[in-house]
Chains A and B, each alone.
Chain A
């Protein structure tokens, strides 16, 4: 880990509890984590281990019950409720498992949408969207509607959309969760390529060890705690993979 740089995102001892009817579930339990510029991080763990909750807290979509989330050096707990949306739009890009393209919009319009929400110039956005669509290999379908595309194609569009506002961090929640193995590989290749070419810090969540192995750094979650944090495919990682394969047998698509 390049310790000399300031982290893009820093989680300081965050916990997330869900509760009701006398039952309290600790989805995250005192998780501390720093992710540095340019990193390509996978988060892996069995179903229900808190992967998605962690990603939601990192993406300011959910508030931790305890602890602080710093993004780009800013303590996000001090941002007002109204401004958090603006901050999210400016700093973060999201890729969802089910792509979440707006079906009635064309591919190009879908990519531009987050930029329009952030009140950016439409003409400039269009130009930039075309470059991004070319990078993810789907420019030839820019006038098609999202619903007319295959799953892999839709996810490429979603990646381009996540990059339109030049985010400091891209968060992908099970980006290959709804894809077959060939498409999954293609999508991961696109994410790797984008990370390398644009040096965009990326964090993705997966329950699939093979997909998680694309990460240059892998964080392993279990019962809401980080139980592993490794660089590349170390010896440790192979062991983790084996354990997880056993743990996630018959597991769902996401957590």
Chain B
């Protein structure tokens, strides 16, 4: 033990001396490794941040996976999807086939509000019709309420008839939104309760708890069908990304079923040639098995180190039950929300990091090889003075260790500086639906650990090869070679 401690002392002192002597070449290698690790840290921290953003926001919409009709796409989830046939039966099949998985049927519609009568801008939102009990269990929406309240049993969820809506035939012939808006309520009916995004309340004066506003809803995925309804805001929620949560509002799924005529409808509609068809005030008995999307929550994974892998696994599991439908995973949303190039960029970045690190490792090895060639006589002398092979090995190994540690720490420090500069400057990028997202970074322990361990491992391995060679030199050969090299 004592010998080992002594070895560490002498070896590390000699290693430091070697590093000082060759500081220029090692400084170049250290800087290259550090910059590589800086880009790794920035990419990872940004990806972590984006994942957090997507986690905070889109998981409200999707949970772990979402099943949609084959005619819908991921973009429709921020608007209106095509109705999913047999939604109730499919949800039941997923739950019974995949133990531990939970599902909820949602109804979707896209709305516009703020009619410009008070000089306000017209804004858009996606209304998601939720099942308060199941959806709260799956997405925890009630926990995100920051003002007002979540749905309760006394809320006026149903009116017993459909609202007034029109169907305009053909594109380019936009509907007049004021039509029907004065006839949105019959008698003393209460407006439908909704939960809006807190960010919407900040930017739009019509949106706040207790306020009633008229929303024109696009109720069909692929046709121009609009319904005009009054809603009352009962609560505001916050998802974590202020400008994104303004987009998604929640209504009771049954309310939206009534609006979208998901049930048994009786009564007459009116058709005006050249204008369109008027539907409205038809008595309806809603069908709770009808819906537009099914959100799926998988059981908690055993570990969280590979959320993307877990997300893909969940998608595959659900797809195996409903092979004829489209299944989007949380990771698909990440790609959609954070940019479809995200994965490609990540792979390219990892590739370039791997190539750079490999070259740095090779540089360390060859620099040390040439140093050992020049220092053969010195190594021979140390062996003559009683240095064991292990001590010689450590002299060069420690150099690798020190190079790796300095490069790792420098990389981390540089990336923190860059992150602070970006935060200070307040850089933003365009996010979904025309919103701006502030660029941010989240450093987790795993990223830090990799940023430190990767260069250390690389340089230690790179140094170990010449270190072993130096350690194995026979003292007499080392002394003789040294003389020859003079």
A97 touches B386 (CB 8 A): no
A85 touches B378 (CB 8 A): no
What 1/0 flags go to A98-128 for Cβ under 8 Å of B? 1010111100000001101111000000000
Interface residues of A in 56-101 (CB under 8 A from B): 56, 59, 61-62, 82, 85-86, 88-90, 92, 94, 96-98, 100
Answer whether A61 and B382 are a contact pair too, CB < 8 Å, given A104-B17, A104-B20: no
B21 touches A104 (CB 8 A): yes
Beta-carbon nearest neighbor of B477 in chain A:
A62
Q: Is B206 in contact with chain A by the CB < 8 A criterion?
A: no
Q: Is B270 in contact with chain A by the CB < 8 A criterion?
A: no
From residue B10, how far is it (CB to closest CB) to chain A in Å? 5
B20 touches A117 (CB 8 A): no
A117-B5 Cα distance, complex, nearest whole Å = 11
A56-B388 Cα distance, complex, nearest whole Å = 17
B386 touches A90 (CB 8 A): yes
B21 touches A119 (CB 8 A): no
Determine which of A56, A103, A113, A161 lies in contact with B476 in the assembled complex, contact meaning CB atoms within 8 Å: A56
Interface residues of B in 354-408 (CB under 8 A from A): 377-378, 380-389, 391
A85-B6 Cα distance, complex, nearest whole Å = 15
A100 touches B476 (CB 8 A): no
What 1/0 flags go to A215-255 for Cβ under 8 Å of B? 00000000000000000000000000000000000000010
Q: Is B79 in contact with chain A by the CB < 8 A criterion?
A: no
A116 touches B486 (CB 8 A): no
A102 touches B386 (CB 8 A): no
Q: Which residues of B have CB within 8 Å of A56?
A: 476, 479
B386 touches A85 (CB 8 A): yes
Interface residues of A, CB < 8 Å — how many?
Answer: 29
Beta-carbon nearest neighbor of B378 in chain A:
A102
What 1/0 flags go to B174-191 for Cβ under 8 Å of A? 000000000000000000
Determine which of A104, A105, A119 lies in contact with B3 in the assembled complex, contact meaning CB atoms within 8 Å: A119
Q: Is B483 in contact with chain A by the CB < 8 A criterion?
A: yes
B388 touches A102 (CB 8 A): no
Answer whether A100 and B388 are a contact pair too, CB < 8 Å, given A61-B475, A119-B2: no
Determine which of B13, B479, B486 lies in contact with A61 in the assembled complex, contact meaning CB atoms within 8 Å: B479
Q: Which residues of B have CB within 8 Å of A94?
A: 381, 384-385
A85-B482 Cα distance, complex, nearest whole Å = 19
B486 touches A98 (CB 8 A): yes
Determine which of B10, B389, B475, B476 lies in contact with A117 in the assembled complex, contact meaning CB atoms within 8 Å: B10
Answer whether A102 and B17 are a contact pair too, CB < 8 Å, given A85-B388, A116-B6, A116-B10: yes
A100 touches B387 (CB 8 A): no
Determine which of B17, B386, B476 lies in contact with A89 in the assembled complex, contact meaning CB atoms within 8 Å: B386
A61-B477 Cα distance, complex, nearest whole Å = 9
Q: Which residues of B have CB within 8 Å of A103?
A: 21
Answer whether A100 and B377 are a contact pair too, CB < 8 Å, given A56-B476, A61-B479, A119-B3: yes
Answer whether A100 and B17 are a contact pair too, CB < 8 Å, given A86-B388, A117-B386, A117-B391: no
Q: Is B9 in contact with chain A by the CB < 8 A criterion?
A: yes
A97-B486 Cα distance, complex, nearest whole Å = 12
What 1/0 flags go to B11-28 for Cβ under 8 Å of A? 001100110110000000
Determine which of A98, A119, A161 lies in contact with B377 in the assembled complex, contact meaning CB atoms within 8 Å: A98
From residue B470, how far is it (CB to closest CB) to chain A in Å? 14
Beta-carbon nearest neighbor of A90 in chain B:
B386
Q: Which residues of B have CB within 8 Å of A86?
A: 386, 388
Q: Which residues of A have CB within 8 Å of B387?
A: 85, 89, 117
What 1/0 flags go to B465-477 for Cβ under 8 Å of A? 0000000001110
From residue A164, how far is it (CB to closest CB) to chain B in Å? 9
Q: Which residues of A have CB within 8 Å of B13?
A: 116
A85-B387 Cα distance, complex, nearest whole Å = 6
Can you name 5 extra interface pairs (CB under 8 A) apart from A82-B388, A119-B6?
A82-B389, A89-B386, A114-B386, A117-B6, A119-B2
Which residues of B does A touch, CB under 8 Å? Answer: 2-3, 5-6, 9-10, 13-14, 17-18, 20-21, 377-378, 380-389, 391, 474-476, 479, 482-483, 486
15 contacts between A and B (CB under 8 A): A61-B380, A62-B475, A89-B386, A94-B384, A96-B479, A102-B17, A102-B378, A113-B382, A114-B385, A117-B6, A117-B10, A119-B3, A119-B5, A165-B386, A254-B483
